[in-house]
Amino acid sequence: MTLRLGDTAPNFQVDTTTGKIDFHEWIGDSWCFFFSHPADFTPVCTTEMGRTAQLAKQFADRNVKPLGLSTDTVEEHNKWIEDVNDTQNTTLEFPIVADADKKISELYEMIHPGESDTAAVRSVYIIDPNKKIRLMMTYPMSLGRNFDEILRAIDGLQTADKHGIATPADWTPGDKVIIPPTVSNEEAQKKFPQGFDEIRSYLRYTKV
């Protein structure tokens, strides 16, 4: 099974640090930032778990639920959380999936040959309230994730859904957006009464 953008995120039932969950039921009407780690008690992972906890309000403001995964047990996760809180000066409250048997990491293709036979690489899945996979990123085990980019990507996806637009390179909230070529000028005038700048017939900018 190869997961692609637009696929329904595979459902699963699993134990986590906050109790057993059914993935789809747990997401509910929210978005999900589902991210994996090679193992507990590893340095890069500790900083990433801490950063996710520090950004709890920013995720909540975007209606996003973080869900971590590591190929260890709930017991190990709970011990690790104490270290995360202590070293990263935070309080980690989001659930971490226990995946000691690697069933979920294999389901989501988080085990990469050449990286490790037992540990998940740093995968990111952004999943929308319809349980569709909207974005996938995979980092090597040596490289920490950029959380500014993760939040920017979520903002871009949500802005595109809300306004029917696309975002240009390096877009951040408040910047101009792009009107898709499938929208005619006549339609654009109705949809974007604030007006738009036509640089080319296929490149039109507006503000939303």
> Distance between CA atoms of 123 and 100, rounded to whole angstroms?
17
Q: Are 122 and 143 in contact (CB under 8 A)?
A: yes
Please identify every residue annotated as catalytic.
45
CB 159 within 8 A of CB 33: no
49 CB burial (10 A radius; 0-12, 13-18, 19+): buried
**Would you state the structure tokens that stand for residue 34, as one six-digit string?**
């589902």
